[in-house]
A and B are shown apart, each in its own frame.
Chain A
Amino acid sequence: MAAGLQARELEDVGAAGGETGDLVEIWARVRARLRAEVGDAAFRSWLKPLTLIGLHNGQLRMAVPSRFMRDWLNSNYVDRIQMLWSEEQPTLVGVEIVVRPPARPAAAETPAPANAPSNKSAPGEAPVVEVPTGLPERISRAEPEQPPLLEVDDEAERCRAISASLDPRFTFENFVVGKPNEFAYAAARRVAEAETAPFNPLFLYSGVGLGKTHLMHAIAWQIRHSHPDKRVIYLSAEKFMYQFVRALRTKDTMAFKEQFRSVDVLMIDDVQFISGRDATQEELFHTFNSLVDDNRQIVISADKSPSDLEGVEERMRSRLGWGLVADIHPTTYELRLGILQSKAEQLAVPIPEKVLEFLAHKITSNVRVLEGALNRLVAHATLVGRSVTLETTHDLLQDLLRASDRRVTIEEIQKKVAEHFNVRLSDMYSARRARSVARPRQVAMYLAKQLTSRSLPEIGRKFGGRDHTTVMHAVRKIEELKATDHAFAEDVDLLRRMLEG
């Protein structure tokens, strides 16, 4: 098909009165003049992406990546292009700008890396990057200094520059699937593997830290891997807003619009952050419509379902719910343990299964905190060169495990210690010196020194007006005993932990 078209168009070129190579040369000259007229910045934004399709019956056809860009060129530059071109080729009748369809899949030339999504392209496909229409490719051969092939890569590159960087760990392979997230996972995979948008938009929502961002990154990785020429932008709503505000400040909103309306896949994370930002919402709404009209894929994430998004306009909310809405439910114990086990396998430091079970049991709020807890354990173990145990886990994560950091008082220590050793509370400040009451009293003094910042004279006073040297003696005595008597040491540590939390 391409060959037939090529022959016909070449005839047209001939019929137009010039040589075959003329068209390309004319375009090169016209481009150079346009560049000089409009300046580098505008040229790069608007005219550089323009690719030549051909000349037919005096009608010059050119392609751009988006509808928005076409409209902009039509209203701002097309007359100028026609005028400059006519000076070169007086037979020119008109200039028509068309939208280049979204990039089509390309077969990858390299095998998938072990941890990246597997490549889905058919084995029979030619190992070349296909340019959308097939036509600009022809031009590219004729015009090596400005190959549209590179242009497409350039744009994919440019999108990567705007896009937030992707976390290499956030792939589908590293996503632990369980009942609470299997639906969202399946939807994300569909979007990543589909050639055309299966549902638009894909709206992922869940409470914080349950894996939305992971799935978003996984989609982007997979698409970038299997379609390197696709223009994929992934960014947070905050960043979208920031870029928009900056564009407003520098009066460059046109380039901003073009940037976002010419992508193949737009992914916006945490869309709830545009709540109450009317101008940004308006912009996103139009971007959204433009992309949906062109059948480009949109993926949105938020902490609530579209209808529950506060501070977002009704029309926006309804638009967000048009495609597929998939939520991720809070994790189950099994899923949390699965996530920890899968993470632990990749760590250099061995983590006892008991610790993983303990974490899965205790930290139920969200996966981000759960993984963060594991990171904290590993980081600490690496830092101090000690292995991870249930005890170090208790100590290190006490802020996450305990409801509060309330300071223990000396009175509480006395009460708890008396109960524990089955002596009367009054024995804590009595003058009795029998070993059966003296030892518990010493333990209580020791704990008072460890767990409070009270001065030693103050502690002495609370124990029946004893001297600070008595407290010092008690502390030394308990330290000695702890060092020699393992069971006793455990007993004291147990008391300490009970008092702390």
Chain B
Amino acid sequence: MNATQQIPLALEPRPALGREDFLVAPCNAVAAGWIDAWPDWPVPLVTLVGPAGSGKTHLAQVWRARSGAAELDPATGDAADLTEALGEAHAAVVDDAERLAGQPAGERGLFHLYNLMRERSGHLLLTARHPPSRWSITLPDLRSRLESGAVAALGEPDDALMGALLVKLFADRQLRPGAGAIDYLLLRMERSHAAACRLVARLDQRALAERRELRLPLVRAVLEETEREDASAERS
């Protein structure tokens, strides 16, 4: 670290999670459509599926606010606790539900939650990286229930979304890069949510540490640096 560098505080940005903050593009339009279509869901369960950073949690929060859903962790407590935690709610949301697969308490809890919601003609929303058919669920009754629900996929960003996503990610950190920087990134970066998040975080950190403007030279340097790292990670 050279003398002119400042040590930036690792303050996590607070992302904007309103419905109007959600960027709808072809790769996530169906998922957003599901959220907007509530309460007219023909199934008791919808699982939002997509890679890291694709907006699952964002949509789940939009839905939670709209439906008044209880947000719970089925792995804690037994059926009695769960029923009490739920109260009169007719909607429930479980973030990153995939982590419950393979955990006896978590699976039972989720099973019970599903049954409760179904019984109340309520709705359950799950988020996960992969569709339930890919989880290593040990409880067959849970598996068949989760597989019978709807899966709303959020894909990796298409070209239309990627630019908007970068702008939003920068805005969440109160950064306003020049248009040239965005275009430059769009043509050259790895096209995934995760990569966009990593890049923006690194650009933010570097701009702050080196007190540099977020312009093309810095963007180019950071991009080349990540490419070199990725290439060496691939070789090893």
Contact = CB atoms under 8 A, between A and B. Distances in A.
B141 A208 contact: yes
B133 A245 contact: no
Interface in B135-166: 140-141, 143-145, 147-151, 156
A458 B187 CA distance: 11
Interface in A373-390: 373, 375-376, 378-380, 382-384
Interface string A100-140: 00000000000000000000000000000000000000000
Contact of B130 (A246, A249, A405): A405
Contacts of A383: 30, 33-34, 37
A303 interface: yes
Interface string A225-243: 0000000000010110110
B66 interface: no
Contacts of B83: 242
A334 interface: no
Contacts of B30: 380, 383-384
A245 B78 contact: yes
A206 to B, nearest CB: 11
B211 interface: no
A371 interface: yes
A42 interface: no
B56 to A, nearest CB: 15
Contact of B144 (A365, A399, A449): A365
Contacts of B37: 383
Nearest to B47: A399
Given A399-B133, A457-B188, A165 B119 contact: yes
Contacts of B151: 376, 399
A422 B49 CA distance: 37
Interface in A35-72: none
Contacts of A249: 80
A165 B189 contact: no
B190 A369 contact: no
Interface string A347-377: 0000000000000000001101101110110
Interface in B36-87: 37, 41-43, 49, 78-80, 83
A400 B120 contact: no
A379 B42 CA distance: 7
A364 to B, nearest CB: 13
Nearest to B143: A208
Given A379-B42, A383-B33, A468 B119 contact: no
B134 interface: yes
A76 interface: no
A365 B150 CA distance: 17
B192 interface: yes
B120 to A, nearest CB: 7
A178 interface: no
Nearest to A370: B148
B144 A456 contact: no
A167 to B, nearest CB: 8
A209 B148 contact: yes
Contacts of B143: 208
Contacts of B78: 242, 245
A264 interface: no
A382 B227 CA distance: 43
Contact of A384 (B33, B41, B150): B33
A207 interface: yes
A383 B30 CA distance: 8
Interface in A245-280: 245-246, 249, 270
A303 B143 CA distance: 14
A360 to B, nearest CB: 16
Contacts of B34: 379, 383
Nearest to A236: B115
A373 B148 CA distance: 6
Interface residues of B, number: 43
Given A375-B148, A376-B150, A376-B151, A165 B188 contact: no
A366 B145 CA distance: 10
Given A207-B140, A383-B34, A399-B133, A369 B188 contact: no
Contacts of A468: 187-188
Residue with the greatest number of chain B CB neighbours at <10 A, chosen from A246, A249, A372: A372
B222 to A, nearest CB: 13
Nearest to A246: B80
B42 A378 contact: yes
Given A236-B115, A383-B34, A453 B190 contact: yes
Contacts of A365: 144, 147
B90 interface: no
Nearest to A235: B119
B202 interface: no
A93 interface: no
B131 interface: yes
Nearest to B33: A383
A250 to B, nearest CB: 11
B112 A238 contact: yes
B191 interface: yes
Interface string A184-211: 0000000000000000000000011100
Contacts of A376: 43, 150-151
Nearest to B191: A453
A454 interface: yes
Interface string B83-123: 10000000000000000000000000001100100011100
B195 interface: yes
A168 to B, nearest CB: 10
B131 A399 contact: yes
Nearest to B121: A165
Nearest to B147: A369
A164 B83 CA distance: 14
A454 B192 CA distance: 8
A95 interface: no
Interface of A: 164-165, 207-209, 236, 238-239, 241-242, 245-246, 249, 270, 303, 365-366, 368-369, 371-373, 375-376, 378-380, 382-384, 399-400, 404-405, 449, 453-458, 468, 472
Interface of B: 29-30, 33-34, 37, 41-43, 49, 78-80, 83, 111-112, 115, 119-121, 130-134, 140-141, 143-145, 147-151, 156, 187-192, 195, 227
Given A238-B111, A242-B78, A383-B33, 4 more contacts: A239-B115, A249-B80, A270-B141, A368-B148
Closest 6 CB pairs of A and B: A372-B148, A399-B131, A453-B192, A209-B144, A208-B144, A242-B79
